[in-house]
Structure 1
Amino acid sequence: MSVLVLHRNPLAAFPYRQWLNGDAPGLDGHAPYPGDLVVLAARDKIESAGERLPDDTDHDFTHLELFDTLDDDRVPARALALAEKYRITHVVAHHEADVALAARLRERLGLDGAWSADIMPFRDKALMKRLARGAGVEVAPHTVPGTAEQARAFAARHGFPVVLKDRAGYNSIGLSIIADQDELEQRLARAYRDGARDDLLVEAFVPGRMCHVDGLVVDGRTVAAWPSQYQYDLASFGTDPGPRVDLTLDVDDPLTPRLLLLIERTLAALKPEGSRLRTHAFHAEVFHTPDDRLVLCEIAARSGGAKIREVFEVLFGIQLAVQVTRAEAGLPLPALEGAVDERGRLRPRCMSGQVLTMKRPGLVRSLPAAPDEEWVKGFWLFAEEGQVIAPASGSADFLTAAVGSAPTRLACERALRALGARIVTQTQIVPLPGNGYGTPVRPAAPDGRTEAS
């Protein structure tokens, strides 16, 4: 038994060997993992979080190999070579950009777990929407515009604003909300300057608040899931200087059962009988419109970004990344304990949420102190005073992050908004001329962990 990990995150928050050993919250004991652990990691993600690059003396992997980025064209061949050398039996990938490669490797090697056809409905937004709509789940009008003229025709039919995004995108990177014809023409000139393409999606803008549902499926059955609601627009990461609050929904919120049911129907539509995708986390985003409709935006077969994994742990006492790592490594999961509902799912122990601020360019003059209130379950800084930082490159490029808990959503919201206001007040970033961004530094966290989602 041996595991290959494709890792596109900082390393400190992912102690894979401990997780495989069973040494993590919610696991039953410590049984040393007997096999090899081979990790291919992204240097850019480690450095952007301020972590020191590991050498051979400060990691517990059988083999660690760093690439400048996991988008390097050499990664697939190197992963296959290492898989053959170490006789890899399981492949693990937590990042949206790596699940397809992990699936191809499993398929090529004949390994357990999801193969390409199982992952594709969660990676190809056009296929995803077609399958969901076929199951009666509402999605926004959309098309795959092969040419600029097809995109213009769609906008003429549906009006502005329209949304243009990568068909297999993530973290809002490359997403544009286009307000008018002039802006559309500018975007199309860039997008189609090399001719026709089939990797973009254009869809009608859906008004309303974005909700998300996060959960864990074990052997084909959802064992824990809960909805939350963003109190901000994901696509505004480059212009939003204020606190971005995300809150779980109360048990008695009318939206809660509707969202959970919608996602069950979606999962069933995207995983037909015979799917090899049996145990996995999921992160789904759903619009709640002003006229009370639920419209699926998209769903991923992996845990959510930001601090969603930590929020989930506050809710249920289990960490999604730990569970998925062990499942994809072929290891048993501990018995899920705690109060369950009539469908056998875990009930949340409290409400939770997160408050985030985004990086913006300039010299960091001051940053907030770590809060010491008991209700704050985690706090992270992703910069240091005196550092020159670049603007946020995506919706997961944070300056600060905090996770809290409270008995109700309202109490949690009040506390998080007050904390967010304090964080903004205590943060000072001075714009600088030019584009001189500094060397990343180590983020600080009260519990010693660092992470960028």
Structure 2
Amino acid sequence: MTVLVLHHRGSLVSTPYGDWLADYDGDLLLITSREHLALAGEELPAPGGVFARAFAVEGYETSGRVEALALDLAREYDIRYVVACQRQDLERAAQLRDILGLPGQRMDTVRPFRDKVATKQRAEAAGLAVAAYRDLECAAELIGFAEEHGFPVVLGPRDGTGSAGPEILYSAGQLDEYLAERFDLPGPYLPDLMVEAFVPGSLCHVDGLVVDGRVVAAWPSEQQYAPASFATDTGPRLDLTLDLDDPLAHRLLKFAEHALDALGGPEHHAFHAEVFHTPDDELVLHGIACRTGGVTIRDTVRTVFGIDPSEASIRAQLGLPLPAWLTEQHVMPRRMSGRLALMKRPGRVVAVPEGAPPFPWVTRYQVFVTPGSTMAAAAHSSDFLLTALVAGADQAECRARLALVAEWFLAGLVLA
């Protein structure tokens, strides 16, 4: 009755599998990344504690050692479940379930969420709007797409794993420069690059939880900034949940449920759907993931609903009980939330404010630099100087509170 946990990146302290599965009657095994464990400043858990065995793999992202180790463990232990919360582990976990004949999401249901071309194909077939797109096998296809659809065009990996954010080309001159200096396909047989037409408007996201094939808790938020401006936008970047009486919120919920139905996800999972809201009041699907979103999304869902979506989805997969109020009906938010992000900017850090903000409604606060460090411009969309989450009664209160946090932090930030 053993559970194998795949943990690609992030803090193990903030992902307390032992607490989440304290009532599970069996052993827990862990395979994690040596590099990301070091980045988090954490040690590999000692055997016999939370985990019966724990392994840190060098070069986790590309090493076949992960699969080899998992299969070795399956010969030694009675592994009944493989769980994974992060996008880089979803396919690995599905492949291992396929090989070992275990319950949970398999490759045929994970691919529509991981492959953006497959996502768009299924969404289109279900009548949902998506941006024009094409997967690329050569430069000529990119040029032809730009001629057909005009500029801007958006480039990115079709598996959605690029950490540098989308590449947006606004003109034929930028396209020529890109082709001459940066255009690169990973190989002639498995192209990973795709191009999409630019969709104007705001980017919204719907985050929630599916249990027994039904959405039991979900709510939308709206980014108050241009996602691709991370390298130049040093001002406060706000992400706010929509109010209960906002008609757009309920349209987004229905749109996300329609997309989940179209993709045919697993029985139990968290999800993160990204949807453009255009100036013409149209909803256009950008992408959807069968996992908790990144960049403090877990904390946002916890603030809004009082549940951890990753914990709840894992417990549901293992058949462990969830709170009755969570599964009886579609849960509505208890309160609203907002996120503040400040991106890194060039300069040497002389001082940052000491301690946490002096506000009781701050639910998460993290600074990513220390005095003496030197910053460059943000290199990717999660290259943060600061992130903070607040709780509030409505969007207006969350916005005002985020402004107070930003003012407090910037007053104590000193850059050379």
Task: State how 1:40-439 maps to structure 2 within 5 Å.
Answer: 40-49=31-40, 51-54=41-44, 56=46, 60-73=50-63, 74-170=65-161, 172-173=163-164, 175-189=166-180, 190-192=182-184, 196=188, 198-271=191-264, 277-337=266-326, 344-360=329-345, 363-369=348-354, 370-388=356-374, 392-430=378-416
1:4: Cα distance to partner? Answer: 1.1
The 1:335/1:396 distance shift into structure 2, 3 A limit, reads farther
* Contact 2:37–2:44 (Cα < 8 Å) also in 1: no
| Per-residue Cα deviation, 1:322-377 (whole angstroms, up to 9, x for no partner) | 11222233423232359x8xxx2111111111112234465432223311212112
* Contact 2:211–2:313 (Cα < 8 Å) also in 1: no
The farther-off stretch of 164-173 and 283-292 is 164-173
The farther-off stretch of 117-126 and 327-336 is 327-336
* Contact 2:304–2:337 (Cα < 8 Å) also in 1: yes
- Return the letter of the residue paired with 1:324: S
- Rounded to whole Å, the distance in 2 between the matches of 1:194 and 1:101 is 20
The 1:403/1:194 distance shift into structure 2, 3 A limit, reads closer
- Rounded to whole Å, the distance in 2 between the matches of 1:334 and 1:201 is 42
* Contact 1:125–1:168 (Cα < 8 Å) also in 2: yes
1:383: Cα distance to partner? Answer: 3.0
| Per-residue Cα deviation, 1:102-153 (whole angstroms, up to 9, x for no partner) | 1111111000100000101100100100100111110000111211001100
- Rounded to whole Å, the distance in 1 between the matches of 2:156 and 2:377 is 20
- What residue in structure 1 maps to residue 27 of structure 2? 36
Q: Give the TM-score of the pair, scaled to structure 2.
A: 0.92
- Rounded to whole Å, the distance in 2 between the matches of 1:293 and 1:355 is 27
| Per-residue Cα deviation, 1:135-177 (whole angstroms, up to 9, x for no partner) | 1110000111211001100001111110001000236535201
- Rounded to whole Å, the distance in 2 between the matches of 1:75 and 1:212 is 32
- What residue in structure 2 maps to residue 24 of structure 1? none
| Per-residue Cα deviation, 1:47-82 (whole angstroms, up to 9, x for no partner) | 334x23335379621111112442132222222222
* Contact 1:166–1:174 (Cα < 8 Å) also in 2: no
- Rounded to whole Å, the distance in 1 between the matches of 2:73 and 2:89 is 16
1:204: Cα distance to partner? Answer: 0.3
- Rounded to whole Å, the distance in 2 between the matches of 1:84 and 1:137 is 45
| Per-residue Cα deviation, 1:18-53 (whole angstroms, up to 9, x for no partner) | 1101xxxxxxxxx3x33121111123333334x233
Calculate percent identity across the aligned residue pairs: 45
The 1:349/1:151 distance shift into structure 2, 3 A limit, reads same
Q: Which has the higher contact order (CA 8 A, sep 6+)?
A: 1
- Rounded to whole Å, the distance in 2 between the matches of 1:234 and 1:242 is 13
1:9 partnered with 2:10: yes
The 1:194/1:88 distance shift into structure 2, 3 A limit, reads closer
The number of residue pairs the alignment matches comes to: 411
The farther-off stretch of 122-131 and 228-237 is 228-237
1:206: Cα distance to partner? Answer: 0.3
Q: Give the TM-score of the pair, scaled to structure 1.
A: 0.85
- Return the letter of the residue paired with 2:44: P
CA RMSD of aligned residues (A): 2.2
- What residue in structure 2 maps to residue 436 of structure 1? none
- Rounded to whole Å, the distance in 1 between the matches of 2:229 and 2:218 is 27
1:237: Cα distance to partner? Answer: 2.7
1:193: Cα distance to partner? Answer: 6.6
| Per-residue Cα deviation, 1:281-325 (whole angstroms, up to 9, x for no partner) | 000111111111111100000011111111111111111111122
* Contact 1:243–1:421 (Cα < 8 Å) also in 2: no
Stretches of structure 1 that go unaligned for 5 or more consecutive residues are 22-30, 431-453
| Secondary structure at 2:168 match in 1 | strand
- Rounded to whole Å, the distance in 2 between the matches of 1:58 and 1:180 is 59
- Rounded to whole Å, the distance in 1 between the matches of 2:366 and 2:210 is 28
Stretches of structure 2 that go unaligned for 5 or more consecutive residues are none
| Secondary structure at 1:401 match in 2 | strand
| Secondary structure at 1:89 match in 2 | strand
* Contact 1:171–1:396 (Cα < 8 Å) also in 2: no
